[in-house]
Amino acid sequence: MQAFLIFAIGGFIAQLVDGSLGMAYGVTSTTILLTAGLTPALASASVHLAEIGTSVASGVSHWKFGNVDWKIVLTLGVPGAIGAFLGATALSNVSTEAAEPWMSTILLALGLYVLLRFAIRPLRRRQLTGVSPKLLAPLGLVAGFVDATGGGGWGPVATPTLLSTGKVEPRKVIGSVDTSEFLIAVAASLGFLFSLANQQLSWVVVGALLLGGVAAAPLAAYLVRIVPMRLIGVGAGGLIVLTNARTLIKAFDLPAPTPTAIYGAIVVAWVAALAYTIRVVIGERREIEELEEDAPAPAQS
């Protein structure tokens, strides 16, 4: 019972982060399962089976709050499902460890770009023209493959890439990526069920992750709608930088106290960017309120 509660809490936290920022459910959940002693393949399989339910709950919640662009969902999700199935079936034979530092470097650069873009030069609505299928299809294929082979990666690959284009509202990027994850979860799960026929899955673990994730989905979708787009962008960018910096530090086995110094510098910079963004958002809202107060009252007939 204690293990079930721990996994359920882990699923809740993972989905709260994922539903709010469009990433990190797989990374967070897989880390918990690996720490508990599951093999990489079983951990990834368990997470993707749980994601079938959590992605439905998250997708419905985002749809109700108007956070979903169905064109993005299909154009990104269908190739993503193909990539996820291929990645799941190849996990036992193909190692992505050698490519991990390179991928993390790219993602870290994207995360830094997203953080600075939203903190210093926010998006304007006139720029929101939509993303071309020429980007969405290959992005989905790569993100799906990385997600299945790494136990997570759909959000960290797809979300920062779409945010960095500046052509879609952050809340719709997050909602659409989360909703399309259902297709990736189903395809990856089928691939794992075929390839792991001789290994026993723990349905208790799957159920705990699912329960926690479903409980968190509506709250996460609501947070995306009410939190300012600038703040979401800065939050997502900082999370991407911190997550991938950790991957690179582990890959290069940096000696102490270098990792602590790097983490400290990233956190300080991230907190400063968040504080600056919050101050700007509050200032903008006060200006709007003052303009509304100074506006002449409408004439009564």
pLDDT tens readout for residues 171-230: 788 888 888 988 998 998 888 887 766 566 677 778 887 788 778 777 777 776 677 767
Task: Report if residue 250 sits inside a domain.
Answer: yes
Task: Report if residue 37 sits inside a domain.
Answer: yes
Task: Report if residue 297 sits inside a domain.
Answer: no
Question: Where does residue 275 rank: exposed (0-12), middle (13-18), buried (19+ CB within 10 A)?
Answer: exposed
pLDDT category, 250, cuts 50, 70, 90? confident
| Cα–Cα distance measured from residue 125 to residue 197, given in angstroms and rounded to the nearest whole number | 50
Task: Report if residue 281 sits inside a domain.
Answer: yes
Answer whether 0.85 is exceeded by the pTM.
no
Residue 96 has pLDDT above 50, yes or no: no
Task: Report if residue 298 sits inside a domain.
Answer: no
Task: Report if residue 300 sits inside a domain.
Answer: no
Range of the domain at 114: 2-291
pLDDT category, 267, cuts 50, 70, 90? very high
Q: Residue 120 is which amino acid?
A: I
Task: Report if residue 229 sits inside a domain.
Answer: yes
> Cβ of 197: how many Cβ atoms within 10 Å?
7
Average pLDDT of the residues of the chain: 77
Residue 132 has pLDDT above 80, yes or no: no
**Number of domains, the chain:** 1
Task: Report if residue 230 sits inside a domain.
Answer: yes
Please compute the mean of the pLDDT values over residues 39-59 and round it to a whole number.
78
